[in-house]
Amino acid sequence: MTRDAVRQRIQQIGIIPAVRTASAEDAQFAAEAVAEAGIPIVEITMTVPGALDLVAGLIAKNTHLVVGVGTVSDVVTARRAVDAGAHFVTSPGFDRNVVEAVRQADVLMMPGALTPTEVTAAWEARADLVKVFPCGPFGGASYFKSLIAPFPQVPFVASGGINQQTATDFVLAGALAIGVGKALVPPRAVKRRQADWIGELARRFVAIVRQARDLPLDE
């Protein structure tokens, strides 16, 4: 899958589920539950044990699924993520060397940023998308909107502390997509293997994004 195709899929769906679990088995269950419910995108964080082996397995087994690697903070890990076949790489903050390493591999790169200076640096480094993180604890949608206003050329993803109550505000504020973690993949649902619970939450988030974009739910 090309970098442009990955970007288009992220923009189309508008939701990036972030899976951060205590085991690879839990993460696989969560990723597949979300995909089956209509969100064919997943970010597996590097905090998951055996994350890269899981990523490679998910990609091999689910050709329709866009699989990214999150919480990547150094070049060595970034290159390992690319070698595992990751369709995109995200980081919690901005590191120019990480951005450049991923871009050189022609893989979509989404660094984190929280200030205008960091956004400028990330865009100058040729990031594909810029993830404002963590959105929730730092002013919410109002801060997000004021941060992105001076950067109309930059595609932004909102991430960190977003839930059903706040998702609409971030989409209306201008987010190309929202990153959602526990509000979409509750640890209890994963532990109990309740795919129906995760599926219901996935469908709710899909509906929220589509309604905020003023799109028909069945498109």
Instruction: Give the Cβ contact number of residue 182 at 10 Å.
Output: 14
Backbone angles phi, psi at 35, to 5 degrees: -65, -45
Tell how strand 130-132 and strand 112-113 pair up.
parallel
Altogether, the residues listed in the chain come to a count of 219
What token pair was written down for 42? 């997943």
Angle between helical axes of 24-36 and 195-212 (0-180°, round to 10): 50
Side chain identity, residue 22: A
Burial of 118 (0-12, 13-18, 19+ CB in 10 A): middle
Beta bridge partners of 16: 179
> Are 76 and 97 contacting, i.e. CB atoms less than 8 angstroms apart?
no
Token digits of residue 141: 């949608």
Q: What are the residue numbers of the active site? A: 43, 131
- According to DSSP, residue 95 is labeled -
Count of CB atoms situated within 10 Å of the CB of 50: 14
Taking a C-beta distance cutoff of 8 angstroms, is the pair 183, 163 a contact?
A: yes
